[in-house]
């Protein structure tokens, strides 16, 4: 069973269609990264899942709830932390946790307190007086304390310093290890690379690719060949027609080729050029992200 | 939700209670300082705002000649401070209707429940302010209408006036609550307060109940010939004569209550709508 299954989701901001038939699934126990540029609809997708943003089409299925279920019964099992964290400015962390204990059936007070302590969130200071990072820390501690089966975090590392980002990654991995699922959106690709096991790339209101991040990393490679001489004319056209080739860079006698999928055909084509040396490296996820979503990673 | 709401409103409610007591006691001890308790009828009774005689003679003598005395309720015995207090209370609670909503709407709580708790808290605050006002005013003799020939009627008028002040508070609460769905809370509170206070005591104030007592010119006697009659003379006249009939006009109040009801429904619809951001 998936923790979340979104099919053909359509949502608007006024007249502007933000989501134009987005499909997404989040497996149970997985950490899925939702990647996309600003304005691509990441927040809207999460809010639509929760039912706090109006959906104009498509279906959303959360856990074992009926299709397009909404309201408190969804929010009892799904927690959403928006960018910057939503808190009650006039209340302290302790009051937030006391409130959480009243409304979440599986509230875990110890996890909330531990997370707050690790993220240096003062328990008795009003949330409105906390720094941006502390406020986000409180929102995350509250969300983790809720012990809901699906956690949706919108840009959760915004405002957190590098140490706290590292801690958050550990918390999320531990949370997922208990069978909970996490959907997080982020622009900070190095963190996503080390944290998420699954990625969904959102562009122009659609998820253009869903993939296992390890598979994605191994699928996309960089083949670098040092040639005995400058590249003969017509070689680029020949290499372009080789299956899987996504792009080239030529610097002097060094030819760099971006390839997706099988490399055998490319290596055979390169062999004709009698290279002095050939190296194959996995392509950084940030570059894949650039290719898929048009830069800005 | 009720637990959280109580945490939020207990401070403003305590401050309001203290403010009501402070202003009420101050009003009673300073403004009414020279008035003995239970004898302040001239100050606290309905406000007689003038008399008009229309006398027809000659060819038009078949028309009814009348002398009228206009009375205004809820404009005098609560004077300025009770309407002011409930205006402030209504605006405060109305403008905080969306407070913390970004957090609350993500919780496993129905929006209807959040709205219901907030509305009940607002109405309770307005009612508390009005009741404190009424208690304070009544201790200063507002219930003593010895100059009026029908004490029972006047006692009911006291409670009608109390209801009118409550109506003002509720209307301000609803208007502020509606505006806060569209503009920032501070702007909505300021607009609601300004609107209420700008109308306070004016002829178009829907929460001032105007009653006209109609007399015959014979009853008015010599008074009918005078242009400017002192208040105490009018009150003495009212005490001594039963009016031919009593005319009261409610359309303005009725329209206001209807508009408040519609605004309340609109407020609830806007509050419970899914928000884009």
Q: Quick one: average pLDDT of A268-275?
A: 85
The chain A residues in contact with chain B (CB within 8 A) are 13-14, 43, 47, 50-54, 71-73, 75-76, 79-80, 82, 86-91, 95, 99, 102-104
* Cross-chain CB nearest to B106 (options A13, A52, A95): A52
Q: For residue B277, which residues of chain A lie inside 8 Å, CB to CB?
A: 13, 43, 47, 53
Of residues B32 and A39, more confidence is placed in A39
> What are the tens digits of pLDDT across the range A53-94?
888 899 999 998 999 888 888 999 999 999 888 899 889 999
CB A52 within 8 A of CB B105: yes
pLDDT attached to residue A32? 93
Q: What percent of chain A has pLDDT over 70?
A: 97
Per-residue pLDDT band at A197 (split at 50, 70, 90)? confident
CB A10 within 8 A of CB A58: yes
Q: d(Cα A282, Cα A275) in Å, to the nearest integer?
A: 20
> What are the tens digits of pLDDT across the range A108-124?
999 999 999 999 999 99
Residue with tokens 């007689």: B48
Q: What is the mean pLDDT of each run of 10 residues along chain B (277 residues)?
A: 79 77 65 39 51 74 78 55 86 92 90 91 90 67 48 56 87 96 94 91 77 81 73 74 78 89 94 72
End-to-end Cα separation, chain A, in angstroms: 32
Tell me if A103 and B105 make a contact (CB, 8 A cut-off). no
Token pair, residue B87, equals 């205006």
Q: d(Cα B58, Cα A80) in Å, to the nearest integer?
A: 85
Residue with tokens 């205004």: B72
Strand ranges inside chain B, DSSP E: 47-54, 66-73, 209-215, 245-248
DSSP-derived letter for residue B273 is S
pLDDT attached to residue A272? 83
- Lowest average pLDDT, out of A205-219, A258-272, B152-166, goes to B152-166
pLDDT attached to residue B12? 78
Nearest chain A residue (CA) to B276 = A53
Q: d(Cα B4, Cα B12) in Å, to the nearest integer?
A: 14
Q: For residue B105, which residues of chain A lie inside 8 Å, CB to CB?
A: 52
* CB-defined contacts A:B, below 8 A: 52
pTM value is 0.74
Backbone torsions φ then ψ of B48, nearest 5 degrees: -80, 115
User: Does residue A188 carry a pLDDT above 70?
Assistant: no
Nearest chain A residue (CA) to B3 = A99
pLDDT attached to residue B102? 87
Q: Measured at the alpha carbon of residue A126, what is the angle toward residues A124 and A132, in degrees to the nearest 5?
A: 110
Q: Quick one: average pLDDT of A22-45?
A: 90
A2 bridge partner residues: A27
B25-29: long-range pairs with CB below 8 Å, 24+ = B25/B136, B27/B79, B27/B81, B27/B136, B28/B136, B28/B139, B28/B140
């Amino acid at each position: 069973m998936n923790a979340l299954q979104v099919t053909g989701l359509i949502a608007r901001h006024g007249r502007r269609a933000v989501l134009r038939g987005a499909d997404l699934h989040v497996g149970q126990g997985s950490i899925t990264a939702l990647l996309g540029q600003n304005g691509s609809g990441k927040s809207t997708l999460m809010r639509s899942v929760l039912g706090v943003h109006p959906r104009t089409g498509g279906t959303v299925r959360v856990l074992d709830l009926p299709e397009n279920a909404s309201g408190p019964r969804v929010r009892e099992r799904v927690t959403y932390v928006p960018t910057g964290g939503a808190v009650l400015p006039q209340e302290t962390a302790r009051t937030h946790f006391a409130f959480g204990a009243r409304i979440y059936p599986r509230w875990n007070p110890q996890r909330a307190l531990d997370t707050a302590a690790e993220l240096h969130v003062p328990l008795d200071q009003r949330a409105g007086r906390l720094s941006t990072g502390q406020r986000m820390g409180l929102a995350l501690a509250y969300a983790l304390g809720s012990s809901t089966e699906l956690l949706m975090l919108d840009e959760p590392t915004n405002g957190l310093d590098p140490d706290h980002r590292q801690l958050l990654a550990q918390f999320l991995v531990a949370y997922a290890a208990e069978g909970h699922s996490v959907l997080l959106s982020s622009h900070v690709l190095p963190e996503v690379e080390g944290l998420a096991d699954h990625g969904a790339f959102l562009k122009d209101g659609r998820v253009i690719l869903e993939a296992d991040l390890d598979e994605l990393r191994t699928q996309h490679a960089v083949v670098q060949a040092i040639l005995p001489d400058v590249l003969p004319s017509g070689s680029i056209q020949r290499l372009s027609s080789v299956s899987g080739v996504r792009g080239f860079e030529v610097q002097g006698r060094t030819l760099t080729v971006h390839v997706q999928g099988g490399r055998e055909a490319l290596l055979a084509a390169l062999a004709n050029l009698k290279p002095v040396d050939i190296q194959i490296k996995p392509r950084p996820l940030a570059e894949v992200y650039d290719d898929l979503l048009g830069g800005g990673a | 939700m009720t637990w959280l709401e109580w945490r939020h409103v207990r401070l403003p409610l305590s401050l309001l209670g203290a403010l009501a007591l402070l202003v009420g006691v101050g009003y009673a001890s300073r403004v009414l300082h020279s008035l003995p308790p239970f004898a302040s009828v001239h100050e606290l009774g309905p406000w007689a705002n003038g008399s008009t005689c229309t006398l027809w003679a000659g060819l038009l003598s078949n028309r009814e000649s009348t002398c009228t005395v206009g009375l205004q309720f809820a404009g005098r015995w609560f004077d300025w401070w009770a309407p002011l207090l409930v205006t402030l209370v209504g605006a405060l609670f109305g403008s905080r209707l969306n407070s913390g909503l970004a957090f609350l709407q993500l919780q496993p709580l129905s929006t209807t429940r959040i709205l219901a708790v907030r509305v009940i808290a607002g109405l309770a605050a307005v009612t508390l302010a009005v009741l404190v006002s009424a208690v304070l005013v009544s201790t200063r003799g507002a219930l003593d209408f010895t100059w009026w020939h029908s004490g029972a009627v006047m006692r009911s008028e006291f409670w009608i006036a109390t209801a009118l002040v409550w109506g003002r508070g509720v209307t301000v609460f609803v208007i502020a609550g509606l505006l806060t769905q569209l503009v920032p809370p501070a702007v909505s509170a300021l607009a609601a307060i300004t609107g209420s206070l700008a109308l306070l005591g004016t002829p178009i104030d829907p929460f001032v109940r105007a009653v006209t007592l109609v007399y015959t010119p014979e009853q008015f006697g010599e008074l009918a010939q005078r242009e400017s009659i002192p208040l105490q003379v009018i009150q003495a006249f009212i005490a001594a004569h039963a009016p031919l009939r009593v005319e009261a006009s409610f359309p303005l109040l009725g329209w206001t209550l209807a508009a408040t009801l519609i605004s309340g429904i609109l407020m609830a619809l806007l509050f419970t709508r899914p928000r884009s951001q």
